[in-house]
Chain A
Amino acid sequence: MQNWRLSFPTTCVAIVMGVVLLAGSNGCKRKPASDGGSIQRAAASAKLAFWHIQSYSPTKEVVASAVSRFRARNPGVTVEEVPLSNDPFKQKLKIAMGAGSPPDVFHTWGGGALKSYVDAGRILDLTPALNADPVWRDSLYPRALDFCSFDGKVCAIPTDVTAVGLFYNKAIFERLKLDPPQTFEQLMGCCEKLKAQGVIPFAMGNSDKWPGAFFFAYLATRVGGTGPFRMAASREKDGSFADPCFIRAGEMLQRMVKADAFPPGFNGMNFDQARRLFFTERAGMILMGSWLLAYAGKEAPEMADKIGCVPFPVVENGRGSATTVIGGVNAGYAISSSCANPVAAIALLKELSGEEAARQWAATGRIPALKGDIALAMISPQSAEIAKIVHAADEIQLYYDQALPPRLAEKHKETTQNIFALTTTPDQAAKEMENLALEMAAQK
């Protein structure tokens, strides 16, 4: 009893005081403090919070080694590295932006999401830094740089380009005497034959919605070319998301679904579960970004020689070019305008996009965002196929969800998921997209 009587109030008071003190010390970052505050402030400003999405081996190590090289060259600066996984990252960044404390340096895929931060004045313009270092500027892959530039201002530095390719299991195809499909009809034929042999045609998990969107974007691009999407997104020249190419793409998707091209229950599967099907050779194909190879290297090294890659098939009577690829910047880095130490942040970007980092990127199976000849010289043998497809492309169509502003992007993924689930018609889905686009245009 005695103990209790003494300890309870004391503990409470101590804890409240402690919390208040902690809260106070955390606030120091923003408040210009008196006396010793200036030292603390200098120390705090020499810290770079760095968020990226390379949370798994081996690319995790590439970033880590770039950071450690940076640390060695900038001993006064501490880098607080925060690796996150893909979808949580998108959400966390929005939350942090909303809370007013974004990281100093962070991952971006360029495109619409980056643009909305640029429009909100949250991103540092990197053009002056690039112009001050022409060697750096000229080493970067111009197409990738385009995805990170708005109104002539470069807002992020790309380090890695990707493209979505049709990956297939060579061993299974050989065993069943199949050729990788070159047209959509051949693709359907392949699906049928694989299915007849008890092999799942496509490993696909669509619960996160973006894997299905790859199919949609590719089919729409092969049917109508890149024009309809560009015009619909920018609302120019009567562009419309109800363009026939989007509707036809939806119809083709539903044809694939009805032909059981995808594993049962794919709408509730995520990418992890889906690639497990491909890596354990239960599925014959997977339509995926080039990052698949990095996963393969780690999770199924024995598959290395069995994975082949071809461009997405063409569509009969399609207006799109056969070499256009769906792709984008798989990793780029931007600096937030609230960064207290932009000089250090730019130095970190140079380290992340420099030749040493690029070489390591390439070794993991990635395609560094450097000019063609430099990049192709570095590329690892396993990703040579996909890298050639990228560099031979007449055009890179940025992933639809990354090209669009966030709200439309969500709608695009949602309607596409519904097309896959057969709960909506392609016609309806197209109308929903177009209505939202009109509503958003009207608000502006």
Chain B
Amino acid sequence: MRGDENRIAWMFVAPALALYALFVMVPLCQSFWFSLFDWNGYSQDMKFTGMRNYAALLRDGVFWGSLWRNIFLLAASLVVQLPIAIILAALLAGPVRFARVLRAGLFAPMILPTVIVALLWIFIYDPVDGLLNGLLGGIGLQSLRRGWLGEATTALPAVTVAVCWRYTGFHMILFAAGIVNIPAETYEAAELDGASAFARFIHVTLPGLYPVIRVSALLSVVGSMKYFDLNYLMPSGGAPDRATELVATYMYREGINADRWGYGCAIAVALCALTLATGGIKLWLDRRRSQPAGV
């Protein structure tokens, strides 16, 4: 019976595992293998260089700059997205008219394909006919008008705003679900003590949301490390000084556009190590959290 179950279980797991192995695990291992070569991807001649790509990576200022931008994106997510999302969720949980419509609208950017998000924000930031510059001109702030995506100083914040625009609604929904799970009695008790709405937010909602905040923060960490889409799409060819380059986009541009597949694979492996490390921390925290319940 035991052997039978073993056999059947493997039969059930096998198709998924085969597909997963073929298209995920094998390419992952190949990434590492290719990263040991100096190779442009289409030539017959692959020069084995051992760890030289990695040595070059450690000295590559663009790589470190990209990594720094990933951290900037993460910080923006933690400092901008999460607080706004918490506030919106808390407000929506209160006595608000049209709460459903508001929630639907706030979440809607999540439904758009990133290509559309990118094109929309390119129109918004257009230096000449853009909405943002038009708005600034309209309210008498001509001096602030600029080519948002084309200047090394503003390109990254500009793209980051678009990223926040897309994902804040998502975190808001997580928090809204978290608030529903806070026992009503806690609020009632606080209210009996005469706590104001603001005090209730600080002393009941925030502590009650702690587990959700942790989930959101971890999602932000993993998500920011591997982020690609909007930073790749806006601006189209890349901002000066690689101002919007992230590790993943650098891998793509360097590996494919600059004919350095071997080096691109080395960047990929480094990216993989970074995300697995952050993900490992998440798993470790999960395990710590679930242990008391399991024992």
Contacts and interface: CB of A to CB of B under 8 A. Distances in A.
B151 to A, nearest CB: 6
Nearest to B42: A97
A268 B152 CA distance: 10
A207 B44 contact: no
Contact of B235 (A116, A268, A406, A420): A268
Nearest to B259: A406
Contacts of B269: none
Interface string B228-263: 000000011111111000000000000011111100
Interface in B118-150: 125-129, 133, 145-150
A206 B241 CA distance: 12
Contact of B150 (A97, A268, A282): A268
Given A98-B41, A117-B42, A267 B257 contact: no
Contact of A407 (B43, B239, B259): B259
Interface stretch (A50-58, A119-127, A364-372, A378-386): A119-127
Interface stretch (A86-94, A153-161, A225-233, A325-333): A86-94
Contacts of A263: 127-128, 147
Contacts of A97: 41-42
A423 B41 contact: no
Interface string A2-16: 000000000000001
A346 interface: no
Contacts of A206: 150, 240
Given A265-B127, A418-B240, A116 B152 contact: no
B40 interface: yes
A87 B241 contact: no
Interface in A319-350: none
A421 interface: yes
B145 A264 contact: yes
A268 B127 contact: yes
Interface stretch (A76-84, A269-277, A352-360): A269-277
A438 to B, nearest CB: 14
Interface string B18-53: 000000000000000000001011111100000000
Interface residues of A, number: 43
Contacts of A265: 127-128, 133, 146-151
A197 interface: no
Contact of A421 (B128, B146, B148, B241): B241
A122 B152 CA distance: 38
A414 interface: yes
Interface string B214-234: 000000000000000000000
A269 B127 contact: yes
A85 B125 CA distance: 23
Contact of B257 (A207, A410, A421): A410
A271 to B, nearest CB: 10
| Interface of A (DSSP majority class) | helix
A267 B151 contact: yes
Interface string B138-182: 000000011111111001000000000000000000000000000
Contacts of B149: 207, 265, 268
Contacts, number: 122
A176 interface: no
A94 B257 contact: yes
A17 interface: no
Contacts of B146: 264-265
A264 B236 CA distance: 18
A60 B43 CA distance: 31
A95 B240 contact: no
Given A87-B236, A270-B236, A407-B260, A421 B151 contact: yes
The size bracket of the interface on B is: 35 or more
Contacts of A207: 149-150, 235-239
Contacts of A266: 127, 147, 150
Given A116-B259, A418-B240, A418-B241, A443 B38 contact: yes
Nearest to A98: B41
B258 A208 contact: no
Contacts of B151: 265, 267-268, 421
A209 B236 CA distance: 10
B259 A94 contact: yes
Contacts of B258: 406-407, 410
A423 B240 contact: yes
Contacts of A421: 150-152, 240-241
Interface in A259-317: 263-270, 273, 276-277, 282
Contacts of A418: 152, 240-241
B45 to A, nearest CB: 8
A162 interface: no
A417 interface: yes
A143 B216 CA distance: 61
Contacts of B41: 94, 97-98
25 contacts: A16-B15, A94-B41, A94-B256, A97-B42, A98-B261, A120-B44, A207-B149, A207-B150, A207-B235, A209-B238, A263-B147, A264-B127, A265-B148, A267-B147, A268-B125, A268-B127, A268-B235, A269-B128, A269-B147, A270-B235, A276-B128, A277-B128, A406-B257, A418-B152, A418-B240
Interface of A: 16, 87, 90-91, 94-95, 97-98, 102, 116-117, 119-122, 206-209, 263-270, 273, 276-277, 282, 405-407, 410, 414, 417-418, 420-421, 423-424, 443
Interface of B: 15, 38, 40-45, 125-129, 133, 145-152, 155, 235-242, 256-261
Q: Which 9 A-B pairs have the closest CB atoms?
A: A265-B147, A268-B150, A265-B127, A267-B150, A421-B240, A268-B149, A97-B42, A120-B43, A98-B41
Given A116-B259, A120-B42, 18 more contacts: A16-B15, A94-B41, A97-B42, A102-B42, A121-B44, A207-B237, A208-B237, A263-B127, A265-B147, A267-B147, A268-B125, A269-B128, A270-B237, A273-B127, A418-B152, A421-B151, A423-B240, A424-B241
